[in-house]
Amino acid sequence: MSSSIELPSYKEQSEDVRTRFAELYQRPIKLEVEGLSKSFTTAKGSVEVLSPISFNVHRREFVSVIGPSGCGKSTLIRMLAGLETLSSGTFLLDGQEPSGPGADRGMVFQGYTLFPWLSVKKNVMFGLEVNGKSGAAVEQEAMQWIELVGLTHAADKYPRELSGGMKQRVAIARSLANQPQILFMDEPFGALDPHTRCQMQAHLLQIWRNVDVTIMFVTHDLDEAIYLSDRILVLKANPGEILEYVEVPVPRPRTPEQLLSPEFLAIKQRLEELIHPKEPERDDEPLPNIRMTGIGDEVE
Amino acid sequence: MTNGKKNGKVTSPWFAIRKDLDARQRLTLSCLSFILPLVAWAFVSYSPFIWHPDVKLHISADRSDVTTVYTAGDHLSKTYFPEFVAAIRSDNLEILASRESGDAESRGSSVRRANLKIMRHISDAAIANDWLTRVEAKEDDLLYGVWRDVAEGKLSGKKVKFSEENLAIINRNWELMSASSPTFSSRDLPEIPLEKLVPQGVSANPVYLPAPHEVVIKGLQDFTFESESDKPSMFDRYKHSLKIVFLGFLLAAVVGVPLGVLCGTFDFFSKLFEPFVDFFRYMPAPAFSTLLVAVFLAHDAPKIALVFVGTFFQLVLVVANTTRQLDRSLLEAAQTLGAKNITLIRRVILPGITPNLYNDMRILLGWAWTWLVIAELIGVKSGLTEFLETQGRWRNFDSVFPIIILIGMSGFVTDQFLSSLRKYLFPWTPDAAEKKHGFIGRFFLWLVDPKAYSTPLNGKAK
Ligand SMILES: Nc1ncnc2c1ncn2[C@@H]1O[C@H](COP(=O)(O)OP(=O)(O)OP(=O)(O)O)[C@@H](O)[C@H]1O
Ligand SMILES: [Mg+2]
């Protein structure tokens, strides 16, 4: 299908995009991953989920991680967030090796992890209080973050009274309130309907523009990855390895119309190739033509 | 299409697989679940043709050839009762025969003693018909008056009606009695042997199944009965029983909840404590009763300790399990927000498990109630159980049932009450959203705070 349309190479970048990447690489490295690997010991012995991988993320960059299911995307960012031990390798955050989970690395999960016993406001205040702030200032600060995600009207509600999209917005506000160095997001919009999802993507880009935060975003939706990211880390499964660390040639600011632009389609085609490599044998064989319906029953 | 449309209102069908019934249907069925057993009980008790294998004596008599003594209220089997009646009748025939032959063998004083006994047999009927109180019925001159009044037709039984046969006997006896003396005097009882009253009774269920009204009346009597100052009143007993249950449970909770939370939080404590606790809970608490009495001596301490032993080990395991069931991702989220160790326990684990913990405590309080009777039996018997035990030994089952029901009610009411408080205590839980208040809980809330009762959600004004 796509072969009938003449697409540019995904490596072709406009002048704007090229200078943007040049600028981006000038920025300090926020996250430096060096030979990170992970094996789980199961009943059947040790399974290598991630073989040693290395990559960098620059300050205020938006990086997406994509790959087939089970390739270790979640495992990777859970390790970086300190929720999983490393089997080997190191990573540096701002040049320092963090130990265990901490407020410097925020995380938004796919499932809803708001504290059900706290109102929206109290949820956002949680991180601030835990990190030693107190008093009326905390409440004010929390309200600012809630305003940022557009939920001021729901500040006193309990999580069970919110829709899925609202819950994730609160989760984002809660993580951002700690002003983390880097924000990890593991398929945060996976459970949302397409429309809400689009809205949330636009919200997220806006927040990212306005807040000094670096984002690492796991998804398996290619459009989402392209629409949001500067670079995309493509993983393969068994064991997890980096296939390619792709620069997205779509200029910023991003708009939904760009979903049909040549650069967008070009990179999407490239990602498709990486994730679902062509298997010529299967494609060549046509399906046998067996009719199971009556003659007068044509649909085409 | 076909089901459920009535008067334009959609009602849910009564039998639908895994579907909730609507509120009215639920209420109806909940009421029925209590009414049905009551109806069955009343049915068995009040319809003589169903079962009634016994005869309950209203008027008793002493057989001359058998030493067993029956008093009014005793149950005889239906097969034995006619035999009993026949024996008394033949005794009466003998008495009449001995009068005719004028046997002077029996001396005056022994005849008078026998007559006094016969005269006193009317007391049960006098009490049942409210002619005399239980205390008055011990006074012979009043009983003597009853004989006179019945014979002269001034009194006629309502609840216990004298049979024709007995009325005739009363008339004949009174002739002899009035001839000796119009009022009672132990020396002036007739020296001619009197005829015995023939036993009378109604068919009844066995003594272990008293009728509902008997239980209610007896229960009210027992609870309003003014006890002598040195004996505990029923309310004292009840308070004592409550104290045993609640103190035992409270102690178990105070020690067990922190331990359970620790076990659920740290694998270290889980592996250190839980295997032993798991082993210990299989040892029945009553097996420790003598040991507990030896350690804690008499009075309440060993009883409370028994409730503790019976509840504590279960509680630790349940709480540990509840703690482990807390969604791990909440903990992870809190960690990525910077929470560590104590903060994690205090701000995530504890609030996170509280609603379930509350439920656990309700269930374990129910457990604690089940140990009550055994606890009160050990050492010096006390509380409701002492009463239960004594009355049960005397086969006063109409006194036993109110106590059993009271214990059941206390547990049930507490539980329902606590259960319906949940919505107000934990407004964030999903079941707080639905407005399904327990009946009793609503009543209590109305007592405590009418506003919270009438506003729709979580008692918070919108
Ligand atoms: N605790 C564990 N013990 C054993 N194996 C595990 C564990 N956690 C993850 N795995 C395995 O590691 C592999 C990678 O899991 P991971 O959740 O990181 O995949 P993923 O890329 O996030 O997949 P998805 O897109 O479905 O979320 C899977 O095959 C999984 O079975
Ligand atoms: Mg995953």
- Three-state DSSP string of chain A: CHHHCCCCCCCCCCHHHHHHHHHHHHCCEEEEEEEEEEEEEECCEEEEEEEEEEEEEECCCEEEEECCCCCCHHHHHHHHCCCCCCCEEEEEECCECCCCCCCCEEEECCCCCCCCCCCHHHHHHHHHHHCCCCCHHHHHHHHHHHHHCCCHHHCCCCHHHCCHHHHHHHHHHHHHHCCCCEEEEECCCCCCCHHHHHHHHHHHHHHHHHCCCEEEEECCCHHHHHHHCCEEEEEECCCEEEEEEEECCCCCCCCHHHHHCHHHHHHHHHHHHHHCCCCHHHHHCCCCCCCCCCHHHCCC
Ligand 1 binding pocket mutation candidate from A36, A39, A40, A186 (most atoms within 8 A of CB): A40
Interface confidence (ipTM) of the complex: 0.88
The C-alpha angle with vertex B138 and arms to B191 and B73, in degrees rounded to 5, equals 100
Write down the residue that tokens 């009194």 correspond to.
B155
Angle, in degrees to the nearest 10, between helices A136-148 and A120-130: 120
- Classify B58 as helix, strand or coil: strand
Which ranges of B371-396 does DSSP label H, i.e. alpha helix?
372-377, 383-393
Ligand 1 binding pocket mutation candidate from A73, A77, A234 (most atoms within 8 A of CB): A73
Pairwise CA distance, residues A89 & B360, whole Å? 45
Residue pairs between chains A and B whose CB atoms are closer than 8 Å: 76
Of A83, A114, A117, which is closest to B335 when you measure between CB atoms? Answer: A83
Integer angstrom CA distances of residue B304 from B223, B243, B279, B309: 25, 9, 22, 9
Integer angstrom CA distances of residue B42 from B205, B210, B406: 11, 10, 19
Question: What residue ranges in B240-308 does DSSP mark as E strands?
Answer: none
Pairwise CA distance, residues A125 & A142, whole Å? 6
Ligand number, closest to the Cα atom of A49: 1
- Record the tokens describing residue B16, joined without a space: 């639908």
- Record the tokens describing residue B309, joined without a space: 């032993």
Query: Within 13 Å, how many C-alpha atoms sit on residue B133's CB side?
Result: 2
Which strand (E) or helix (H) includes residue B265? helix B234-265
- Classify B76 as helix, strand or coil: strand
CB A90 within 8 A of CB A280: no
Which strand (E) or helix (H) includes residue B203? strand B200-204
CB contact under 8 A, A113 and B337: no
Of B330, B343, B426, which is closest to A113 when you measure between CB atoms? Answer: B330
CB contact under 8 A, B354 and A111: no
Burial code of A213-247, b = ≥16 C-beta within 10 A, e = fewer? bbbbbbbbbbbbbbbbbbbbbbbbeebbbbbeebb
- Record the tokens describing residue B360, joined without a space: 């656990």
The two beta strands, A231-236 and B9-10, are unpaired
CB contact under 8 A, A82 and B348: no
What are the chain A neighbours of B334 within 8 Å (beta carbons)? 115, 126, 130
Whole-model pTM? 0.81
Please enumerate, as own/partner, the contacts of B127-132 that have beta carbons within 8 Å and a separation of 24 or more: B128/B58, B128/B72, B128/B157, B128/B159, B128/B160, B129/B155, B129/B157, B129/B158, B129/B159, B129/B160, B130/B159, B131/B155
Pairwise CA distance, residues A50 & A71, whole Å? 8
**pLDDT of A281 strictly over 50:** yes
Ligand 1 neighbourhood includes A40 CB (under 6 angstroms): yes
Ligand 1 neighbourhood includes A220 CB (under 6 angstroms): yes
Ligand 1, atom 31: nearest CA belongs to which residue? A70
Report how far ligand 2's centroid is from the alpha carbon of B270 (Å). 30
Ligand 1 neighbourhood includes A72 CB (under 6 angstroms): yes
Pairwise CA distance, residues B59 & B126, whole Å? 10
Which ranges of B102-211 does DSSP label H, i.e. alpha helix?
108-120, 123-128, 140-151, 164-180
- Record the tokens describing residue B266, joined without a space: 């740290």
Ligand 1 binding pocket mutation candidate from A44, A51, A66, A74 (most atoms within 8 A of CB): A74
Q: What is the pLDDT of residue B263?
A: 96
Q: Which residue in B248, B202, B235 sits closest to B74, CA to CA?
A: B202
Q: What is the pLDDT of residue B406?
A: 93
The one-letter amino acid at B57: L
Residues recorded for chain A: 300
Q: What does residue A115 show for φ and ψ, rounded to 5 degrees?
A: -75, 115
β-partners of residue A234 are A66, A244
Which of B332, B335, B336 to probe by mutation at the A interface, max A CB count within 10 Å? B336
Q: What is the pLDDT of residue A1?
A: 46
What are the chain A neighbours of B423 within 8 Å (beta carbons)? none
Residues with CB under 5 A from ligand 2 (ion): A 74
Report how far ligand 1's centroid is from the alpha carbon of A108 (Å). 17
**A45-58 β-sheet, strand order:** A45-58, A29-42, A88-93
The one-letter amino acid at A258: Q
- Record the tokens describing residue B12, joined without a space: 């849910």
Please enumerate, as own/partner, the contacts of B330-335 that have beta carbons within 8 Å and a separation of 24 or more: B330/A113, B330/A115, B332/A83, B332/A101, B332/A107, B332/A109, B332/A113, B333/A107, B333/A109, B333/A113, B333/A114, B333/A115, B333/A171, B334/A115, B334/A126, B334/A130, B335/A82, B335/A83, B335/A100, B335/A101, B335/A102
How far, in whole angstroms, is CA B410 from its chain's centroid?
A: 11
Pairwise CA distance, residues A287 & A284, whole Å? 9
- Record the tokens describing residue A268, joined without a space: 């999407």
CB contact under 8 A, B338 and A116: no
Q: Which residue in A190, A185, A155, A192 sits closest to A170, CA to CA?
A: A155
Q: What is the pLDDT of residue B459?
A: 39
CB contact under 8 A, B334 and A178: no
Least-confidence region, from A26-35, A244-253, B135-144, B184-193:
B184-193
Report how far ligand 1's centroid is from the alpha carbon of A186 (Å). 13
Ligand 1 binding pocket mutation candidate from A71, A76, A221, A243 (most atoms within 8 A of CB): A71
Ligand 1, atom 22: nearest CA belongs to which residue? A74
Identify the residue with better confidence: A285 or A142. A142
Total Cβ atoms within 10 A of residue B430: 10
Q: What is the pLDDT of residue B448?
A: 64
CB contact under 8 A, A160 and B338: no
Of A100, A159, A174, which is closest to B337 when you measure between CB atoms? Answer: A174
- Classify B57 as helix, strand or coil: strand
The model's pLDDT over A154-213, given as tens digits with 9 standing for 90+, comes to: 999 999 989 988 999 999 999 999 999 999 999 998 888 888 889 889 989 998 998 899
Give the mean model confidence (pLDDT) for residues A214-240: 92
Please give the CATH superfamily to which domain A1-97+218-278 belongs.
Answer: P-loop containing nucleotide triphosphate hydrolases (3.40.50.300)
Q: What is the pLDDT of residue A93?
A: 92
CB B261 within 8 A of CB B350: yes
Of B333, B339, B430, which is closest to A113 when you measure between CB atoms? Answer: B333
Ligand 1 neighbourhood includes A42 CB (under 6 angstroms): yes
Report how far ligand 1's centroid is from the alpha carbon of A225 (Å). 20
Q: Which CATH architecture has domain B234-426?
A: Orthogonal Bundle (1.10)
Pairwise CA distance, residues B399 & B216, whole Å? 9
CB contact under 8 A, B428 and A109: no
Question: Distance from B368 to chain A by nearest Cα, in Å?
Answer: 29
Query: Within 13 Å, how many C-alpha atoms sit on residue A60's CB side?
Result: 15
Integer angstrom CA distances of residue B265 from B108, B238, B257: 90, 39, 12
CB contact under 8 A, B337 and A158: no
Write down the residue that tokens 């129910």 correspond to.
B366
Pairwise CA distance, residues A175 & A123, whole Å? 10
CA A106, A110, A114, A116: dihedral to nearest 10 degrees? -160
pLDDT tens digits in sequence order for chain B, 462 residues long = 445 455 556 778 889 898 888 888 888 999 999 999 999 999 998 888 888 888 988 888 888 778 788 888 888 898 999 999 999 999 999 888 888 776 655 567 888 888 888 888 888 888 888 898 888 888 888 999 999 999 988 888 888 888 999 999 999 999 988 888 888 887 888 888 889 999 998 888 888 888 899 899 989 988 888 777 778 888 899 999 999 999 999 999 999 999 999 999 999 999 999 999 999 999 998 899 889 988 988 788 999 999 999 999 999 999 999 999 999 999 999 999 999 889 999 999 999 999 999 999 999 999 899 999 999 998 888 889 999 999 888 888 889 999 999 999 999 999 998 988 888 888 888 877 665 555 665 666 667 666 555 544 443 433
The model's pLDDT over A106-123, given as tens digits with 9 standing for 90+, comes to: 999 988 899 999 999 999
Ligand 1, atom 7: nearest CA belongs to which residue? A40
The one-letter amino acid at A114: L
Pairwise CA distance, residues A6 & A4, whole Å? 6
Report how far ligand 1's centroid is from the alpha carbon of B199 (Å). 87
Ligand 1, atom 30: nearest CA belongs to which residue? A70
CB contact under 8 A, A175 and B336: yes
Q: What is the pLDDT of residue B462?
A: 35
CB B398 within 8 A of CB B405: no
Write down the residue that tokens 């199961």 correspond to.
A42
**pLDDT of A245 strictly over 80:** yes
Q: Which atom from ligand 1 is nearest to the alpha carbon of A240? A: 14
CB contact under 8 A, A113 and B339: no
The model's pLDDT over B243-290, given as tens digits with 9 standing for 90+, comes to: 999 999 999 999 999 999 999 999 999 999 999 999 999 999 889 988
Q: What does residue A54 show for φ and ψ, rounded to 5 degrees?
A: -135, 140
Report how far ligand 2's centroid is from the alpha carbon of A74 (Å). 4
Q: Which atom from ligand 1 is nearest to the alpha carbon of A78? A: 18
Which of B337, B340, B341, B343 to probe by mutation at the A interface, max A CB count within 10 Å? B337
Total Cβ atoms within 10 A of residue B322: 22
CB contact under 8 A, B338 and A131: yes
Ligand 1 neighbourhood includes A41 CB (under 6 angstroms): no
Q: Where are the domains of chain B?
A: 55-204, 234-426
CB contact under 8 A, B336 and A82: yes
CB contact under 8 A, B429 and A116: yes
Q: Phi/psi class of residue B73: alpha, beta or left (left: φ > 0; alpha: ψ in -120 to 50)? A: left
What are the chain B neighbours of A130 within 8 Å (beta carbons)? 334, 337-339, 343, 347
Question: Distance from B316 to chain A by nearest Cα, in Å?
Answer: 24
What are the chain B neighbours of A81 within 8 Å (beta carbons)? 336
Report how far ligand 1's centroid is from the alpha carbon of A208 (Å). 28
DSSP assignment of B394-438 equals: TT-HHHHHHHHHHHHHHHHHHHHHHHHHHHHH-TTSHHHHS----
Pairwise CA distance, residues B274 & B270, whole Å? 5
Q: Which atom from ligand 1 is nearest to the alpha carbon of A76? A: 18
Integer angstrom CA distances of residue B381 from B244, B279, B293, B304, B396: 12, 30, 12, 13, 18
Q: Where are the domains of chain A?
A: 1-97+218-278
